[in-house]
């Protein structure tokens, strides 16, 4: 089975006993140019000050972009690794659930660039903006995202 044929359940099973499962990452949908996921906010994911820990938001967004990268690896690629990430935190949460939408900006032969917006699932209020660059391991064919050159 190729990575593009993996289902939502496949991804959720693959991450169950790793960091995504530990934090409660839940993939909701995946398509070549859009991935949706969520994460329930709970005490274990908070900083000692009682607010959502920044690393929780990073874990959600980086996992979302990583799963998107897996689904979009060029033919012949063996995998990927994140080589850079940046987050802008806009607000925080104490309860509810985070929702994350990840979209590709560039799907190249040697790199991919992904953006993610993390928001409060109930209100839609943005919590963070995230961008990461991934190095494709093993090469392959280049793809251009619709609307990008």
Is 76 a residue whose pLDDT tops 70?
yes
148 inside domain:
no
**Positive or negative, the Cα torsion across 53, 125, 34, 27?**
positive
Main-chain phi, psi angles of 72, to 5 degrees: -120, 20
147 inside domain:
no
149 inside domain:
no
144 inside domain:
no
Main-chain phi, psi angles of 48, to 5 degrees: -60, -20
Q: Tens digit of pLDDT for each residue in 88-123?
A: 999 999 999 999 999 999 999 999 999 999 999 999
Domain range spanning residue 43? 3-137
**Cα end-to-end distance, the chain, whole Å:** 30
Q: How many domains does one find in the chain? A: 1
Exposure b/e, 46-71, CB count within 10 A at least 16 = b:
beeeeebeeebbbbbbbbbbbbbbbb
Assign residue 41 the CATH number of its domain: 3.10.129.10
pTM as predicted: 0.89
Q: Tens digit of pLDDT for each residue in 2-58?
A: 666 889 999 999 999 999 999 999 999 999 899 999 999 999 999 999 999 999 999
Predicted pLDDT of residue 143: 53
106 inside domain:
yes
């Amino acid at each position: 089975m190729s990575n593009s044929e993996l289902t939502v359940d496949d991804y959720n099973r693959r991450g169950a006993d790793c960091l995504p499962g530990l934090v409660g990452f839940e993939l909701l949908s995946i398509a070549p140019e859009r991935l949706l996921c969520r994460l329930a906010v709970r005490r274990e994911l908070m900083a000692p000050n009682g607010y959502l820990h920044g690393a929780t938001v990073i874990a959600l967004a980086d996992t979302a972009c990583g799963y998107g990268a897996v689904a979009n690896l060029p033919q012949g690629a063996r995998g990927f690794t994140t080589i850079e990430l940046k987050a802008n935190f806009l607000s925080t949460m104490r309860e509810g659930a985070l929702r994350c939408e990840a979209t590709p900006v560039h799907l190249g032969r040697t790199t991919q660039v992904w953006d993610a917006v993390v928001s409060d699932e109930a209100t839609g209020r943005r919590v963070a903006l995230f961008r990461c660059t991934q190095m494709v391991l093993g090469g392959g064919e280049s793809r251009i995202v619709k609307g990008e050159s």
